[in-house]
Amino acid sequence: MTESTTKTCWLIDLGLVAYAQALEWQDRVVAGRKAGAIPDVVLVCEHPHVITLGRNGRREHLLGSKRLLEQRGVEFFETRRGGDVTYHGPGQLVAYPIFDLSGLRRDLVWFVRRLEDAMIAASVGMGIPAERLLANWEGKTGVWVRAPGGPAVVPPTKLGAIGVHVSRWVTSHGLAWNVSTDLRYFDLIVPCGIAGCRAASVEQVLGHAADFSAAAQCLAGGLGRVFGLALERVPVDRLAAHLEAWEREQEAAALPMGA
């Protein structure tokens, strides 16, 4: 259900950014959001090849050796997000919603379901009938597609993954939607720790090249609708200026009197 109250949310495009740098951005934005120094924010980006392991993930779901990852130019990070192991890379649209759920709804399951709704809406906007898992595959977070007319016992393929973290009701991490991703890199992992799971991409399902900017617009629209937010596109340097000003204020307040 879409919330009735419309709030402003900043949409920040980080472009192609290293995973470590995106983590730094998230930490700074989360701190600013907790303090009320900035509104809700969605960071969108692509990452160079990287595999991440969630806090409840299992290392054995990483199938590639350290040497193989180095040969393929793939970094590896253990993270605070939920979920198991996943891959990020060029052609994959990543969104990190940094929301204060106190102003939306203090319900993490509700938040995850809305992220699924946003990816489903974006997929439909690109011409793909994506869905949550039903029947034999019920309970697996994310967005999936089935072969047309395929039997329910055949595992669907995963189009988008979700892994989130929440602290004092402020969210971080988020979703990864495969638009034109090189799916061969998923062979290095057991995707999301689900045996037999295969990844799909918008491009693969459509059978032709996918417009990445159109996909980004579809996802932004989906996020705005399901959370009842008015997304305002804000340059990254404006976000940086707000954070730097607030951080300077915090540093000055922490100085002893007369320093």
Q: Are the beta carbons of 225 and 121 closer than 8 angstroms?
A: yes
Q: Clarify whether 192 is annotated catalytic.
A: yes
Look at residues 160, 111, 155, 132 and name the one whose alpha carbon lies nearest to residue 3.
111
Q: Which entry of 45, 192, 197, 218 is annotated as an active-site residue?
A: 192
Helices (H) and strands (E) in the chain, counts: 6, 11
Distance (Å, rounded) from C-alpha 89 to C-alpha 46? Answer: 7
Question: Which contacts (CB < 8 Å, 24+ apart) does range 22-26 have?
Answer: 22/47, 22/94, 22/96, 23/77, 23/79, 25/96, 26/96, 26/98, 26/172, 26/173
Place of tokens 């409840």: 56
User: What are the angstrom distances between the C-alpha of 20 and each of 75, 90, 99, 248?
Assistant: 10, 15, 21, 23
User: Which residues are known catalytic residues?
Assistant: 192
